[in-house]
Structure 1
Amino acid sequence: MASDHQGPRGPLARLRRGHEELVLRLLRTHGPLSRAELGKLSGLSRTTLYDIVVALMDGGAVVATAPAPAERRRGRPVETLSLHPGAGQVIGIDFARRAVHVAAVNVAHEVIGSASEAHSAGLGWEARVDLAERLVARLAGGALRLGALSGIGVGVVGPVDDLTADAEDAPRPGAPQHRAPGTPARTDLPLLLRKRFGVPVLVDNNTRLAALAEATWGAAAGVQDVLYLRLSHGVGGGLVTGGTLHRGAHGLSGEFGHITAEPDGRRCSCGKDGCLETVASIGAVLEAHGAGAPDLPAFLAALPDDAAAARVLTTVGTRVGTVLAAVCNAVGPDVTVLGGELAEAGPVLFTAVERALLAHLMPISRSRADLRAATLGEAGGALGAIALVLHESPLLDRYPAPDSLE
């Protein structure tokens, strides 16, 4: 009878395996953790956690790392536990409107490398995948072992439910087809990537993925509830709640750029009037500034001496802060992150955003407000795609046998 309970398929064995998978999932999702942090997150007793960690380390799935000398404090050094770096690698690809960004991370959350290359707006999807493949080959000096990949995360512009074509790709009824028969479309992207790399592919909106990246590696690393807004050629964002990316019922979460900022404002590309995007996108800012700056780099270079540019940013920051306050009052994030190319304007913009944010937050929330600048730049979407795989790929629930790590 004892073997029924303790054998490889008995209830005790299944319980132990469940504990192992819990520990592995926490390390995969959060990255390196101390034993105390792992115990708090897992809820396992110290004795049970010790036994599970020892078994995983003996099996080669988990490694322990002592802090660097510069990081050590008085007392016994606190080592951290992480997944074995050789247990798998993950690629993230961000197919932006006019560029492809790629990054690679191992399952121990160590960034292996990143690369980017711009392309023409009309480049076809097969050519974009070709470009992504070439960029991946450059990572780590060409030493990245594609055979070790555990998954690929992908960020794309626009909605991703059913991965339907966005406005740039979808022909209007009665309009001529510009894509030759047999030419891959946006909806073919997951299949194209799986054929190239031979691993599962997870897809999400690239701005939403940037939110997850900032909560994993960036300005809000380790924070469980994060609101992210990106000010770029478009305006959008994402919510991370309880450490998990929030997509919404139809994959439309994070469309903060289409919250009304000026009720009597200009018509937005979405069909509404006065959306935040009509005020806070790069194009809107340059138009409001007039002929003083032909492009964003020139606009930013003129700060802070250009009084007209400063006035435009003050107005933009006020609108952004007001919208952010409305979202914060609804969802209550720990940290709000502001990113995108326009955020590079720095204090001129952030001061106005923070002033409006505090003015429109509920009084009880003002002391808790925490506005931060994004830190990951153009790599955010690709890194967020990696975080998506690290959080969700079923392949990473299983650790390799010891001989596969040699």
Structure 2
Amino acid sequence: MASDHQGPLARLRRGHEELVLRLLRTHGPLSRAELGRLSGLSRTTLYDIVVALMDGGAVVATAPAPAERRRGRPVETLSLHPEAGQVIGVDFARRAVHVAAVNVAHEVIGSASEAHSAGLGWEARADLAERLVARLAGGSLRLGVLSGVGVGVVGPVDDLSAAAERTEGATHPKPSPAPTRADLPVLLRKRFGAPVLVDNNTRLAALAEATWGAAAGVRDVLYLRLSYGVGGGLVTGGTLHRGAHGLSGEFGHITAEPGGRRCSCGKDGCLETVASIGAVLEAHGGAADLAAFLAALPDDPAAVRVLESVGTRVGTVLASVYNAVGPEVTVLGGELAEAGPVLFRSVEKALRAHLMPISRARADLRSATLGEAAGALGAIALVLHESPLLTHYPAPDSLE
């Protein structure tokens, strides 16, 4: 009779193992108590599964550092074996390429960036990404254990996502003779020999801030980036929200000034027409660039007035989104956010003024912490969250 149940029992156990591996992959290091709460497995079952995964070399236990220890028995954390896989993230910004690498234990291996001219072709951008990756960790990055490449780009990504799916399983994908943006997954698959996942880079920055940054560990996050463009992203229930057609997070195109200036999207009065860096510099009229504008703060009354006006509009738009989705944490990032308290005071004042009274005390506005690396790190988080890594985890001897 026992043999009749061996198949179903083995499949059930394998399902439990894959659940634990997936939780460690998406959340990073967890204590046994946290793992038990997230998995819903009984203590006995979880103990058996963890022991088997540790014996198999897929999971390692780490004791807290001496400075982090408290009274009582130290609480160790479980994580995926650092050598079991690595993930590369590449952010193709408007005029720069940013790269980062993380292992499956959520440990950042390194990051690098390089600016380029606006007209640089896509094959040259892919070459630049490859060179930057080669420099990570002093050239010690092991592409042989590369589990995936996450990619962030400006704008909609439906065409790129479809192209990335077509490269899956292709041994030698070929780009077109004159590669375009749509060939990017093919170009990267050719260089790195790993699956490629693509998403909007601003949306990925939201996922990065929820994974490693200002909202690390928070499952419901609203993120807004104020840069040369204005956009954002939503993380709901710990998952990046894309929307039905991959257009979620276009907060820069919410009307902030009815009847205002024409936006590049074709509408009038979008938030981007008043809160982008270009709009702020134009409204100020005196600063040659953003660095000069920020350097004038807080002693330049004109700059302060501009930021207060911008902050009011930003806070009003954020309140509308907040009332709709109810995030736990709201993160404000981008180069303009470096203006600091002058901007944040106005944003928070308007945000609270337009929230439902019951939400005002719960609103938690934070400054982004990951800077220009956010898009690349978010691309890594995309792979860690969605790619079926470690479905067949390595035996101990393969990790040596």
Q: TM-score range, shorter-chain basis?
A: over 0.9
Tell me how far apart the structure 1 counterparts of residues 300 and 329 of structure 2 sit (CA, whole Å).
31
SS state at 1:397 partner: coil
One-letter code aligned to 2:191:
R
In structure 2, what is the equivalent of residue 29 of structure 1?
26
In structure 2, what is the equivalent of residue 360 of structure 1?
354
After superposition, residues 5-404 of structure 1 pair within 5 angstroms as 5-6=5-6, 10-163=7-160, 182-290=177-285, 292-404=286-398
User: What is the RMSD computed on CA atoms of the aligned residues?
Assistant: 1.1
Tell me how far apart the structure 2 counterparts of residues 395 and 183 of structure 1 sit (CA, whole Å).
33
One-letter code aligned to 1:199:
A
1:23–1:42 contact (8 Å) kept in structure 2: yes
Cα distance, 1:69–1:164 mapped onto 2, change above 3 Å: closer
1:267-294 CA distance string (max 9 Å, x none)? 000000000000000000000001x210
SS state at 1:394 partner: coil
Shift of 1:403: 1.7
Q: TM-score, normalised by structure 2?
A: 0.96
2:161–2:199 contact (8 Å) kept in structure 1: no
Shift of 1:164: 9.0
Q: TM-score, normalised by structure 1?
A: 0.94
Tell me how far apart the structure 2 counterparts of residues 395 and 286 of structure 1 sit (CA, whole Å).
45
SS state at 1:151 partner: strand
1:164–1:187 contact (8 Å) kept in structure 2: no
One-letter code aligned to 1:330:
A
1:105–1:386 contact (8 Å) kept in structure 2: yes
Shift of 1:296: 0.1
User: Which ranges of structure 2 fall in alignment gaps of 5 or more residues?
Assistant: 163-175
Shift of 1:400: 1.5
Tell me how far apart the structure 1 counterparts of residues 393 and 145 of structure 2 sit (CA, whole Å).
12
Tell me how far apart the structure 1 counterparts of residues 264 and 159 of structure 2 sit (CA, whole Å).
22
Tell me how far apart the structure 2 counterparts of residues 193 and 211 of structure 1 sit (CA, whole Å).
23
In structure 1, what is the equivalent of residue 2 of structure 2?
2
2:161–2:197 contact (8 Å) kept in structure 1: no
1:101–1:115 contact (8 Å) kept in structure 2: yes
Tell me how far apart the structure 1 counterparts of residues 177 and 246 of structure 2 sit (CA, whole Å).
28
Tell me how far apart the structure 1 counterparts of residues 5 and 99 of structure 2 sit (CA, whole Å).
48
Identity %: 91
Shift of 1:2: 1.2
User: Which ranges of structure 1 fall in alignment gaps of 5 or more residues?
Assistant: 166-180
Shift of 1:257: 0.0
1:390–1:396 contact (8 Å) kept in structure 2: no
1:211-257 CA distance string (max 9 Å, x none)? 00000000000000000000000000000000000000000000000
SS state at 2:198 partner: strand
Shift of 1:397: 3.2
Tell me how far apart the structure 2 counterparts of residues 315 and 56 of structure 1 sit (CA, whole Å).
55
SS state at 2:217 partner: coil
Cα distance, 1:15–1:164 mapped onto 2, change above 3 Å: closer
Shift of 1:3: 1.8
Tell me how far apart the structure 1 counterparts of residues 122 and 161 of structure 2 sit (CA, whole Å).
14
2:260–2:268 contact (8 Å) kept in structure 1: yes
1:225–1:333 contact (8 Å) kept in structure 2: yes
2:161–2:198 contact (8 Å) kept in structure 1: no
Shift of 1:4: 2.8
